Amino acid sequence: MELIFEKSRPGRIGVVFPEKDVPVTCVLETKYKRNATAELPSVSEPEVVRHFTKLSKMNFGVDSNFYPLGSCTMKYNPKFTEKIAQIEDFTALHPLSPQLVRGSMLTQGALEIISNLEGALCEITGMDAFTTQPMAGAHGELAGVMLIAAYHKQKGNNKKCILIPDSGHGTNPASAAIAGYIVKSIPSDAKGVMDLNKFKHALNDDVAGVMLTCPNTLGIFNPHIKEITDLTHSSGGLMYYDGANLNAILGKVRPGDLGFDVVHINLHKTFATPHGGGGPGAGPVGVKKELIPFLPVPRVIKRNDGTFALDFEEELSIGYISPFYGNFGVMLKAYAYILVLGKQGLIDVSENAVLNANYLKYYLSKYYDVPYGENCLHEFVLSGEKQAKKGVHAIDIAKALIDKGIHPPTVYFPLIVKEAMMIEPTETESKETLDEFISVMAEISRLAEETPEIFKTFPKTTPVGRLDEVKAARDMNISG
Ligand SMILES: *Cc1c(COP(=O)(O)O)cnc(C)c1O
């Protein structure tokens, strides 16, 4: 059997491919073998089933109920993508398997899928190349800002700061700071988008890049976006697009066409991987061609003979940012989802996400204040200020929703809205579910008006009831 290995780069951490053939069989030494049968607990099937059913009932998820958690896209993800990610040919694939063995395909299929997914994401976002390595949105942001830094370094630019509007996701300033930049926050204007004049005032030679979420966390698309990207470019800066939630713009507008140079996408928000519980996720990063040389290694490349390989030899690369090639199971789900939905399906996703959000916003505005936005895109932010005057705060409304079997929306974010409740219904919810949510929210507003004192007793339906947050914070025992 002749094996072909790509050369790895000496001195870099990460995958080093063996020089010799991989062993065909693996013999376990006697000292590692058991002498006696392992002592495993013995329980009956009903006990096991009851145990896991009980655990599953303690969990709240999109599989149990409506989950309008703004900015997090808790949408129902189709089960067929899970089945695909469970195919043994994929799950049994070892990340150190050789890339190409003559006469056998081994990892070729997996590399082709990564390559095809990168191509699909390029088409969806209007970028020139993608890396699928980052394992979360924030990880993608960090990788993206490192790319911006590598680009400026190579050009000999000494730019020290990144501009981010005050409605930005908290991970934006954190990523920029970890990558070594000074973060300048730009206030929002009365319409809820980055204040154009204040932005112009802050833009100077020192600005390495601008990180924008568009539509932003208020669900509002910035009408000055083209002017912002043009101005940034003319002062030598780069534009970063936080595309964690792409379901507002899929098939409608592409960040690359708006002038963005770097974009990250959360596959676990928009592309069929359940989101929550801390992962696993994936935050692929796309770039325009000037930034390709800096992308993390290894890169998946297509050889002239049509086979695929991992390339570790990029001189200017920022290096490794994850072990191996990212979360492959998440990539499989995203790729399957994109193929099954197709172009029209993806357009339907964004149209339904926007329609559902506007439907809710219209009816809920009868009961709650809506500080920003006549029309929203995939999400919107209500303010509970009216209810707060009666002593019922966003947190109390959230607790009341729990008793109604609905997961609370994101509360107290973005920070620029008082008593914020950030709602994202997503494209996968039916009109019946939305109507039910509207009637529950209407009832809560009526209760706030008539019997505000009862809110302190919510939630009643959870095993522990209302948490004493002051006590929880004070008595927090951080031992071990
Ligand atoms: C969720 C989110 C992120 C961060 O993504 P993680 O995968 O949670 O790290 C960044 N920006 C926006 C707008 C988000 O909604």
| CA dist., res. 243 & res. 247, Å (int) | 9
383: CA distance to ligand 1 center in Å? Answer: 22
Instruction: Give the length of the chain.
Output: 480
| Ligand 1 pocket residue status of 231, Cβ below 6 Å | no
**Ligand 1: which atom is nearest the Cα of residue 268?**
7
**Ligand 1: which atom is nearest the Cα of residue 71?**
15
Residue 394's nearest CA partner among 453, 438, 448, 465 is 448
Residue nearest to atom 3 of ligand 1 (CA): 137
Q: Distances from the Cα of 248 to the Cαs of 120, 252, 257, in angstroms?
A: 18, 8, 16
Residue 456's nearest CA partner among 69, 464, 465 is 465
- Give me the residues paired with residue 165 across strands: 186
* pLDDT value for 19: 46
DSSP 298: P
| Ligand 1 pocket residue status of 242, Cβ below 6 Å | yes
Of the CA atoms within 13 Å of residue 425, those in its CB half-sphere come to 28
Written as six digits, the tokens of 83 are 């089945």
Instruction: Give the pLDDT confidence of 357-405 residue by residue, as tens digits.
Output: 999 999 999 999 999 977 899 999 999 999 999 999 999 999 999 999 9
* pLDDT value for 477: 62
| Ligand 1 pocket residue status of 273, Cβ below 6 Å | no
**Ligand 1: which atom is nearest the Cα of residue 138?**
9
Rg (Cα) of the chain, in Å, rounded? Answer: 25
CB distance 383 to 341 below 8 Å: no
Domains in the chain, ordered, with CATH? 88-339 (3.40.640.10), 384-474 (3.90.1150.10)
For a mutational test of ligand 1's pocket, the pick from 169, 275, 327, i.e. the residue with the most ligand atoms closer than 8 A to its C-beta, is 169
Which residue type, as a one-letter code, is found at position 347? I
| CA dist., res. 212 & res. 5, Å (int) | 41
Place of tokens 């112009």: 200
CB distance 140 to 265 below 8 Å: yes
Residue 458's nearest CA partner among 401, 410, 393, 408 is 401
Collapsed DSSP state (helix, strand, coil) of residue 28: coil
Residue nearest to atom 5 of ligand 1 (CA): 137
- DSSP per-residue codes, 168-226: S-THHHHHHHHTTPEEEEE-B-TTSSB-HHHHHHH-STTEEEEEE-SS-TTS---TTHH
| Ligand 1 pocket residue status of 266, Cβ below 6 Å | yes
| Ligand 1 pocket residue status of 140, Cβ below 6 Å | no
* pLDDT value for 139: 96
| Ligand 1 pocket residue status of 281, Cβ below 6 Å | yes
For a mutational test of ligand 1's pocket, the pick from 71, 221, 267, i.e. the residue with the most ligand atoms closer than 8 A to its C-beta, is 71
pTM confidence score: 0.88
| Ligand 1 pocket residue status of 136, Cβ below 6 Å | yes
376: CA distance to ligand 1 center in Å? Answer: 19
Instruction: Give the pLDDT confidence of 270-319 residue by residue, as tens digits.
Output: 999 988 766 689 999 999 999 999 999 999 999 898 888 888 888 999 99
Collapsed DSSP state (helix, strand, coil) of residue 330: helix
291 Rama sector, left if φ>0, alpha if ψ -120 to 50, beta otherwise: alpha
| CA dist., res. 58 & res. 49, Å (int) | 14
pLDDT in tens, the chain (480 residues): 333 334 444 333 334 444 455 555 667 888 998 999 999 889 999 999 999 999 988 888 888 899 999 988 899 999 999 999 999 989 988 888 876 555 456 788 999 999 999 999 999 999 999 999 999 999 999 999 999 999 999 999 999 999 999 999 999 999 999 999 999 999 999 999 999 999 999 999 999 999 999 999 899 999 999 999 999 999 999 999 999 999 999 999 999 999 999 999 999 999 999 887 666 899 999 999 999 999 999 999 998 988 888 888 889 999 999 888 899 999 999 999 999 999 999 999 999 999 999 999 999 999 999 999 778 999 999 999 999 999 999 999 999 999 999 999 999 998 899 999 999 999 999 999 999 999 999 999 999 999 999 999 999 988 788 888 888 888 876 543
Residue 392's nearest CA partner among 445, 349, 335 is 445
CB distance 215 to 195 below 8 Å: no
* pLDDT value for 14: 37
- DSSP per-residue codes, 393-455: -HHHHHHHHHHTT----EES-STTSTTEEEE---TT--HHHHHHHHHHHHHHHHHHHH-GGGG
Written as six digits, the tokens of 213 are 């979420």
CB distance 445 to 368 below 8 Å: yes
Which residue type, as a one-letter code, is found at position 338? I
| Ligand 1 pocket residue status of 213, Cβ below 6 Å | yes
Of the CA atoms within 13 Å of residue 207, those in its CB half-sphere come to 26
169: CA distance to ligand 1 center in Å? Answer: 7
Written as six digits, the tokens of 347 are 């357009």
Residue 136's nearest CA partner among 249, 285, 239 is 285
For a mutational test of ligand 1's pocket, the pick from 71, 141, 263, 266, i.e. the residue with the most ligand atoms closer than 8 A to its C-beta, is 266
